[in-house]
Structure 1
């Protein structure tokens, strides 16, 4: 049976069942404590919270998930998945996995929103949390599935959608100046490298000096994003003049193999801060990939050459990147006929 008592101004629900370790959680009101306790007891009765769930925290399961992945598909320290797991550990690691509630996830999602994360990013993080609970835990209740309807209704999670936002030249110049002065030249360089190469932030953070071919002016991007192949999708990417020149300006740090040795989440964090400080609305760092791809089309590169730079295997996905500026069409229309 569950017991509810007042402890230090909060109502604590405590559930004790034979074969299970005690599970407890504190609430602001007695009604919420009773509601939570009834829900957990129902899950225990249905066999959804077996004894093996015990007192494992979310942090415990994240560690176990990393261990399991290391047996077949290790998580690279420079991968976006590594940073997502690290963020989840920091935000939710202290919670007992079997006792994690819908309210816990609502509060976490609101916190992520307040930090600047959009609905799509939170949705991706939530999905990763669900993967951890499924593969590293055993018999845990589906709290992710239970929380999704409310999170979606509140607009805290959502699909990625198709963005067409492109920065103006003035916005880019202001962002470069602010980042260089306020956060360091490397962050300004990363921003423009994203434009010049159409690379994702994680790809920029992963490239290393030893994978640069100076003769062919190419760089090997390892484990490039591909829904059909999670590991081993390595691609040689040609670096056009602006990208090559920017790469050559980067200092080499002793003992550091990476060209841009920074956390990719920090790239986005500082980019958001710059946009807020400068009053630049509705611009995300990933929009720079869109900008870079659009520039390639505007410069006259055929789709197959654009795909070599961006890494798209399915050329149909490139259609949404081809919002050419009207003045480009006029410029081409005034070319002399032969």
Structure 2
């Protein structure tokens, strides 16, 4: 039988001692709660299904998040992004609670609060990371009794799929036929490049829109994997876990050749090492600053010319939109089965999320 004793004027302690099991004790605010807990634990022990909850009750959420960041995150490809998500969780008051005290109702309130500020995909990503923390704690950290409160939370439907295409330039392109159509809509991007104060961002931008490579793939691209003679860039490790070879357009080859010549002129060894010695998040920040400066310059230009600025030009433009743009351009050249080899999509349905043809371009194909 469990022993229930009063501790001070406001607390009750339940103690359970049973042969073959470690002694259990817990403190409650009322005697009824203490008796209900003791009855549940004794029943589990009698049926042989009892599992210790001690570690889950002693480990705070922020401690579990820190352990997850140290042991699990370094082995993930999106380590930088996931560390940012963990930081957001650690900033919540909920992080001071034990893992066993985190309830789904707490997460529901936090989900609704975040949805007022963030896109559903962002909230969904945060919930997914927390769910994995609880899963790892239960499966690998010896907390078998721990339930996953995220499983009971209704997930927001991501509705922030993007169809952003670059605005077309006013003038014709001087590029050769075959690449001229793809380069003719670079007007908006040229403004961003011109406004960039970075030494490497222009080359990154042009490669992104010419190859459809991801930001992380560009940041990790190494010279020993670039074959300018064959016009191929080899990516040994990608987001989906498989390697691929990316064909390089004439413009992409020219960009890389110019970079290589500049490095060699500075007596740098380009036989090895990364093509762009920058982090992925630094690319995003530099691109955002360049877009902002380009928009400001465009607005000033319109004021000087006494014309109204286009509201959509150089607004709501993200670096990942370059992958959408590149995929849509390449789709006019390569069939679907070849395009998947270039972009790295294993599922054609995912590829269709990146393919956004302009209606006027499709209309031109009609008789």
* TM-score for the superposition, normalised by structure 2: 0.60
Corresponding residue of 2:315? 281
Deviation at 1:197, TM superposition (A): 1.0
* Deviating more after overlay: 285-294 vs 262-271: 262-271
2 CA distance for matches of 1:135 and 1:185? 42
1 CA distance for matches of 2:348 and 2:188? 29
Q: Secondary structure at the match of 1:185?
A: coil
Corresponding residue of 1:165? 164
Deviation at 1:135, TM superposition (A): 1.0
Q: Secondary structure at the match of 1:135?
A: helix
Deviation at 1:198, TM superposition (A): 0.7
Corresponding residue of 2:136? 135
Aligned partners of 1:297 and 1:322 also within 8 Å: yes
Corresponding residue of 2:218? 204
1 CA distance for matches of 2:291 and 2:213? 20
How many residue pairs match? The answer is 282
Match of 2:328 among 281, 291, 294: 294
Deviation at 1:52, TM superposition (A): 1.1
Structure 2: runs of 5 or more not aligned: 5-10, 16-23, 42-49, 169-186, 296-310
Residue by residue, what CA displacement relative to the aligned partner does 1:253-272 show, whole Å, maximum 9, x if unpaired?
Answer: 77983222333233334444
1 CA distance for matches of 2:108 and 2:127? 9
Superposition pairs for residues 48-63 of structure 1, below 5 Å? 50-58=53-61, 60-62=63-65
1 CA distance for matches of 2:344 and 2:148? 36
Deviation at 1:329, TM superposition (A): 5.2
Residue by residue, what CA displacement relative to the aligned partner does 1:10-39 show, whole Å, maximum 9, x if unpaired?
Answer: xxxx9988757999xxxxxxxxxx9xxx9x
2 CA distance for matches of 1:112 and 1:58? 22
Corresponding residue of 2:119? 118
Aligned partners of 2:111 and 2:123 also within 8 Å: no
2 CA distance for matches of 1:269 and 1:122? 21
Provide the alpha-carbon RMSD of the alignment. 4.4
Q: Secondary structure at the match of 1:237?
A: strand
Superposition pairs for residues 169-188 of structure 1, below 5 Å? 169=168, 170-178=187-195, 180-181=196-197, 184-188=198-202
Aligned partners of 2:323 and 2:354 also within 8 Å: no
From the CA coordinates, give the structure whose radius of gyration is larger.
2
Residues 243/57 of structure 1: CA separation in 2 closer, same or farther (3 Å cut):
farther
Residues 49/318 of structure 1: CA separation in 2 closer, same or farther (3 Å cut):
same
Aligned partners of 2:119 and 2:160 also within 8 Å: no
Corresponding residue of 2:86? 89
Structure 1: runs of 5 or more not aligned: 2-13, 24-33
Superposition pairs for residues 60-75 of structure 1, below 5 Å? 60-62=63-65, 64-65=67-68, 75=75
Residue by residue, what CA displacement relative to the aligned partner does 1:17-68 show, whole Å, maximum 9, x if unpaired?
Answer: 8757999xxxxxxxxxx9xxx9xx99xx798991111443445434544676
Match of 1:193 among 199, 207, 210: 207
Match of 2:273 among 236, 257, 263: 257
Corresponding residue of 1:238? 247
Corresponding residue of 1:313? 346
Deviation at 1:75, TM superposition (A): 1.3
